[in-house]
Structure 1
Amino acid sequence: MEMKELKTKSEILEAFSLMKQLRTHLDEKTYLELVLDAQEKDRYKMFALFDGGELAAVTGFKPMITLYYGRFVWVCDLVTDVRKRSNGYGAKLLAYVQEWAKRNQYESVALSSGLQRTDAHRFYEDKMDYDKVSYVFKKSLK
């Protein structure tokens, strides 16, 4: 297995079909614009896990500082190819994010997960030992 940071437009676009499984509302153009903008302005990082040269899973995260969490890493996106789930790829990616956070002196890793994603919640709580600490609220301004 190989872990690779996705930095170039072509590398980022290579992950679109997989990210689309999680972010179904995005088209390729909007996806690329958002990733590049987030990398430039928000320190967003994208990593992919390849197995046998095939893209198996991808994550996007950003280091942050807030009064609530202190210095932490926010996992914005984490998805394993639907055809490759239950093979430990998500756990490897999330463990990588945790190690990245430790190496860079961040205190914790946090994420949100849609209410309907009960399998993901079990994964975070039971397999990855994450605590459910809050609800996330959103108001659209459009």
Structure 2
Amino acid sequence: MDIKIRELLSKDYTEVVMLWKDVLGVRTVTDENFRVTVEEMFRAGNYKIFVALFSNHLVGFISIVHALAVGSANGYLHITGLAVHNDFQRHKVGTELLRYTENYAKKSGISSIILCTGMKRTDAHAFYENNGYDKDSYCFDKTIKID
């Protein structure tokens, strides 16, 4: 399977939104709030979204942010989203997206990548472990009610 990976273009937005909803189950993502957020992310300069294409069809994406950290000269990459269309899962698309991100980190002088995934997503846990990622911490979150 010949997968091409490139940076997100505006023509990709609708398909990426569908992956956020269908694969990741994030129903609050809409074309409009995705566009606004992506524009803000790109202005900030430390975010990237890469898409995977098979026969010119978008079949997956990975979103990352380069974060700074005390004690780390170049910070780390945080994978904030990774999704592959259901029909293309188990065809190495996710692995290709991870490898592309790892090469991007290497070229940028960044030696650490982190990600969080849901506790019940055991298939995702196995996927990351099979790709050399260690399960070494818990992620915690808290929703803050905004009045």
Q: TM-score, normalised on structure 1? A: 0.89
What count of residue pairs does the alignment treat as equivalent? 140
Structure 2 residues not aligned, in runs of 5+: none
Counterpart contact for 2:61–2:82, Cα < 8 Å: yes
| Mapping 1:109-124, distance limit 5 Å | 109-124=113-128
Once the two structures are superposed, residues 79-117 of structure 1 have per-residue CA deviations (whole angstroms, 9 ceiling, x without a partner) of: 000121100000000010000000000011110001121
Moved more, 75-84 or 22-31: 22-31
Letter of the aligned partner of 2:21 in structure 1? K
CA contact (8 A) 1:43 1:63 kept: yes
Once residues 51 and 96 of structure 1 are traced to their aligned partners in structure 2, the CA distance between those partners, rounded to angstroms, is 15
Q: Aligned Cα RMSD in Å?
A: 1.7
The answer to whether the aligner puts 1:58 opposite 2:96 as a matched pair is no
Map of 1:51-130 to 2, 5 A cutoff?
A: 51-67=54-70, 71-125=75-129, 127-130=130-133
SS of residue matched to 1:93: helix
Map of 1:16 onto structure 2: 17
Give the corresponding residue for 2:28. Answer: 25
- CA-CA distance at 1:42 after TM superposition: 5.6
The verdict on how the C-alpha distance between 1:10 and 1:53 changes in structure 2, with shifts beyond 3 A counting, is closer
- 1:39 CA drift (Å): 2.1
Q: Give the C-alpha shift of residue 128 in structure 1.
A: 0.6
Q: Which amino acid aligns with 1:45?
A: K
**Equivalent residue of 2:143, what SS?**
coil
Bigger drift between 107-116 and 24-33 goes to 24-33
Q: What is the aligned partner in structure 2 of residue 3 from structure 1?
A: 5
User: Structure 1 residue 67: deviation in Å?
Assistant: 2.6
Q: Taking structure 2 as the reference length, what is the TM-score of the superposition?
A: 0.86
